[in-house]
Amino acid sequence: MDEKKVVFSALKPTGDLQIGNYIGALKNMIKMTEDYDCLYAVADLHSLTVDCDPKLLRKRSYDFMALFLAIGLDPEKCTLFLQSHVPAHAELAWILNCFTQFGEAKRMTQFKDKSAKAPQNANVGLFAYPTLMAADILLYKADYVPVGKDQMQHLELARTIAERFNNKYSPTFTLPEGITGKRGSKIFSLADPTAKMGKTDENLNGTVFILDDPDTVMRKFKRAVTDSDATVRFDPQNKPGISNLLTIYSVFAGVSVEEAEREFAAADYATLKTRVGETVVEYFRPIREEYARLIADKGYLESVMKTGAEKASYRAEKMLAKVYRKVGLVR
């Protein structure tokens, strides 16, 4: 039988989807549906690790599903679902917690950053975030996980946990491989080109959201922080702002970074910023329109969620039963 390799990825609805999510993860996720057996989730349970308004969480879960569809993820070609609709994720996460060392979880950079940023809410869920993520991936025996660079450490931990479990019992989990794109595995904030662009950044002028209207997109790019050197050159070390703009342009114009560099060799910064902004606006125009159509059709979105959850649950339950049996739980 010709079995396709399995791909899993997820995005958490703590803020609106931004172009860093698109370049780092979503673009590869779309491409991989051509050749692989792909499962993609809205990681709503992960959202609870940060302070989250219930109404907004619910709204964003629909938004994410509508955007998944609008960017071209086809529910006929892949499985799209909400993480909380498949209880096996939380159940396996508990088991995996018991196979993860305290020291390993404590070393995670994301945990250290997030707990330092919000010490008043350094909750146990935030600490156990990577084991829930490992459960997401391992439940489906995913071979590949398309993500941005910031998630690679979590991927490594998922492999460590899987290996530990396999060695203690018998081969159960597939060791997943993180897949990052050739370029853009880390897109930087337009307001601070040394920091990652994030959907919950304090300075939202630095984050371009997929659903931002054209004027907002243009304004954000025109204000992008650059340098005073006035030559357009790809040099992430010395010219992080310009290099970030060239990367973003190359992705949305469908050219290489070298081609982008040549195209703007004689241009001033204002021209570059305007051209990048216009390219992003045009790229997302049909997506924004399709989103507007889909978000008005809650019934359809719910039917996609339901079908996806059924398909995912069927597979997840089989894995969970196997794990329960191996560790000695009576079924």
Residue 285 buriedness (CB in 10 A; 0-12 / 13-18 / 19+): exposed
Contacting range for ligand TYM; rule: CB under 6 A; set: 51-59, 190-198, 238-246, 285-293 = 190-198
Distance, CA of 323 to CA of 97 (rounded, Å): 13
Distances, alpha carbon 294 to alpha carbons 64, 82, 301, in Å: 11, 17, 7
Q: Are 178 and 155 in contact (CB under 8 A)?
A: yes
Instruction: Single out the residue of 100, 131, 151, 247 in contact with ligand TYM (rule: CB under 6 A).
Output: 151
Shortest Cβ 265–ligand TYM spacing (Å): 26
Confirm or reject binding of residue 10 to ligand TYM (CB under 6 A).
Answer: yes
Residue 114 phi/psi, 5-degree rounding, is -70, -35
User: What are the structure tokens assigned to 327, written together?
Assistant: 């560790």
Please choose, from the candidates 323, 304, 301, the residue with its C-alpha nearest in 3D space to the C-alpha of residue 140: 323
Shortest Cβ 61–ligand TYM spacing (Å): 13
Site string for ligand TYM, 262-301 (x = CB under 6 A): ----------------------------------------
Distance, CA of 193 to CA of 241 (rounded, Å): 5
Distance, CA of 158 to CA of 135 (rounded, Å): 8
Distance, CA of 271 to CA of 18 (rounded, Å): 23
Shortest Cβ 130–ligand TYM spacing (Å): 8
Site string for ligand TYM, 83-122 (x = CB under 6 A): ----------------------------------------
Confirm or reject binding of residue 20 to ligand TYM (CB under 6 A).
Answer: yes
Distances, alpha carbon 80 to alpha carbons 15, 64, 239, 275, 311, in Å: 19, 10, 39, 34, 9
Which positions are annotated as active-site residues? 114, 196, 199
Given the complex with ligand TYM, which of 23 and 280 has the nearer CB atom? 23
Distance, CA of 92 to CA of 79 (rounded, Å): 20
Confirm or reject binding of residue 305 to ligand TYM (CB under 6 A).
Answer: no
Site string for ligand TYM, 36-75 (x = CB under 6 A): -------x--x-----------------------------
Confirm or reject binding of residue 21 to ligand TYM (CB under 6 A).
Answer: yes
Confirm or reject binding of residue 25 to ligand TYM (CB under 6 A).
Answer: yes
Given the complex with ligand TYM, which of 69 and 137 has the nearer CB atom? 137
Instruction: Single out the residue of 75, 148, 193, 308 in contact with ligand TYM (rule: CB under 6 A).
Output: 148
Instruction: Single out the residue of 150, 156, 192, 317 in contact with ligand TYM (rule: CB under 6 A).
Output: 150
Instruction: Single out the residue of 77, 183, 186, 222 in contact with ligand TYM (rule: CB under 6 A).
Output: 186
Given the complex with ligand TYM, which of 46 and 239 has the nearer CB atom? 46
Residue 74 buriedness (CB in 10 A; 0-12 / 13-18 / 19+): exposed
Q: Which runs of E-coded beta strand occur in 78-166?
A: 78-82, 144-146
Given the complex with ligand TYM, which of 198 and 241 has the nearer CB atom? 198
Neighbours of 199 (CB within 10 A): 18
Q: Which residues bind ligand TYM (CB under 6 A)?
A: 8-12, 20-21, 23-25, 43, 46, 133, 136-137, 145, 147-148, 150-151, 185-187, 196-198
